[in-house]
Amino acid sequence: MESKEHISWRMSRIRGKNTAPELSVRRLTFSMGYRYRLHCKEIIGRPDLVFKKRKKAIFVHGCFWHGHDAESCRIAHMPKSNSAYWQAKLERNAARDASVQQTLRHAGWDCLVIWECQLKDGENLATAIKMFLGQPQSKSSVRK
């Protein structure tokens, strides 16, 4: 069993931006020809990828941190120690996520949530992104 100090150190190393799942989605999206902004401060919730002209936002959620409850997800699990704290925290995270997405939708934005466990199937993920965003801009219509 790990000491509290080691667990605390390990948790302090977890980042909120530029995570491995986020970088993977960014690489895929860019390679498909889409261009985006990152973590726009003026957009509520600071989506991971923002497509301002399309009024679309992509959130890349870690299955554990955002409480993914799909039966097929093997990543999200409740910790055995301090479970009351973690359950309340993960429920607050999920409630905040839902509130942010609802606010964006009321403002005319479309949102797509990509879960960490979905990254394993790159082909389906690429299809979902393309269906969400539509066709990328052609190079001739991009300003030089």
Q: pLDDT tens across 9-22, in order?
A: 766 666 677 888 99
Q: pLDDT tens across 32-70, in order?
A: 999 999 999 999 999 999 999 999 999 999 888 888 887
Q: pTM for the complete prediction?
A: 0.84
With b for 16 or more beta-carbon neighbours within 10 A and e for fewer, the 79-102 pattern comes to eeeeeeebeeebeebbeebeebbe
For residues 30 and 51, give the distance between their C-alpha atoms in angstroms, rounded to a whole number.
Answer: 12
Amino acid at 30: F
- Note whether 68 and 75 are within 8 A (CB): yes
End-to-end Cα, the chain, rounded Å: 58
> Domain ranges in the chain?
4-134
CATH of 4-134, one of 3.40.960.10, 3.30.70.120, 1.20.1540.10, 3.40.50.620: 3.40.960.10
- Note whether 73 and 117 are within 8 A (CB): yes
